[in-house]
Structure 1
């Protein structure tokens, strides 16, 4: 195991130890409102629970149910016949519920490879005005590919359809206008195409946002595959976009070289290249509903 891989793994191990409906209410104001007992905690590091493709350190408030629609069109280089990607599309629908202000669970289904996923997020550490310099959220997920089995040389077993993701999301709100995040990542695949391929894929995500106005931000996100067979075969994922808070929804518009919308698809299996025009236009739309009201932690 290389030193870089050891650093990623140690980061993950250290992290493991150490929305009646608000139809008209401004989500930004909701996110920035704090209970008086939490006045010292930094809030609204990011506008949404996704940076672009990947998760942010943000979790839902207790009793909030978030409905997320994610959509990616085809590549711009597909030409006029495909209307530059508009004739081709993949979608993911997801539900995410905040059991507490710091613990969120979610499920989703992607049309790409008919994949179901479930995840857990727990905000272990919270940035404070004095003391704690950053926020740490632990993330884990499992994904199940349900396409009909087409590999005749491998016995069809349920376990071979599973992929697991582990992340330590560390972020700091540097100012009211700038927030940065890093995401050491481990993805374990129970089945890989070749014996020489890696079951464990290590990557380092990085990104951030710049506040352009009260309701808009510019976001960037990059996932770097650590050297190995996977990095030799696939591309790093780069995504650029904007968040727009409309007062009832958060729209995220983006351009990315990855078609997948969950970690096992857009990190270790991304074949798109910006330089070759493999650019997917996409968006996320999130809506929050208050299912129950709890006191803030």
Structure 2
């Protein structure tokens, strides 16, 4: 019953009802006093940003994560191992997007919706508020090893409220209270329903380059869990029709429940991956 209630709660936003050159997006206040372009990419690094695809725009995102650098030349600093995520994002309207992706981590299929709730304005709301919901299917779970496994055990849900503020032409920050539910958890001590608080920001230091960082603090992780909080640091390069993101992170997962609940890398032990996101708008 709890799983069904959680499913219905997370699905509610699904039933609610890029421009050719990203460099041409307005970096200042428009005539109706709406603050735009807090972020130029759909993600800060792992964390969803408050940017949405414009109506009828189709984004194709290729995300790549190499292995951890800790083994040095043994696996060429992780370059011999990699996960890839392919994602499509479509703007049904300027304020409502749908997404579908496949992540090599957990062989996960994810379906998501992102929708704008409040605009940041010079004489109104000081924040932009965007909702995000996703459903992921972990197809990697092996029924041979887990004979009692059911299809519903493969499913996880994520609900986020993304609250951002563009402080000036260079600096934007974001807070992301998050609830996520995994129908199957790897440790009995771990609650299926979990909570996290995401933090992220972007600092634009040239016309084309910005420094990005995001972090998610898990709020009710089991004491014996080997999983860590995901921390990612990187740079965005704007090159006309697309944004190229380069970063270092301790997370191999790129879909929401994957990086929020199942990050194993430890920055202090050199368990850091190099990765990139390549975003193209059609």
TM-score by length of 2: 0.90
Q: Deviations over 1:92-119 (max 9, x none)?
A: 0000000111100000001122110010
SS of structure 1 residue aligned to 2:77: helix
1: CA distance, partners of 2:69 / 2:137: 29
Counterpart in the other structure of 1:41: 34
Q: Deviations over 1:223-265 (max 9, x none)?
A: 1111440785321111100100011210000000111101111
Counterpart in the other structure of 2:76: 83
Structure 1 unaligned segments of length 5 or more: list them.
1-11, 290-297
Q: Number of matched residues?
A: 269
SS of structure 2 residue aligned to 1:99: strand
Paired residues of 1:54 and 1:262 also in contact (CA < 8 A) = no
- Work out which of the residue numbers 58, 67, 71 in structure 2 matches 1:74: 67
Paired residues of 2:47 and 2:200 also in contact (CA < 8 A) = no
2: CA distance, partners of 1:235 / 1:279: 12
Q: For 1:176-187, list aligned pairs within 5 A.
A: 176-187=169-180
- Work out which of the residue numbers 25, 28, 31 in structure 1 matches 2:23: 28
2: CA distance, partners of 1:236 / 1:33: 32
Q: For 1:1-297, list aligned pairs within 5 A.
A: 19=18, 22=20, 26-29=21-24, 31-32=25-26, 39-147=32-140, 149-150=142-143, 152-229=145-222, 232-289=225-282
TM-score by length of 1: 0.85
| Shift in alpha-carbon separation, 1:35–1:257, aligned structure 2, 3 A | closer
Q: CA RMSD in A?
A: 2.3
| Shift in alpha-carbon separation, 1:33–1:172, aligned structure 2, 3 A | closer
Paired residues of 1:201 and 1:230 also in contact (CA < 8 A) = no
Structure 2 unaligned segments of length 5 or more: list them.
1-9
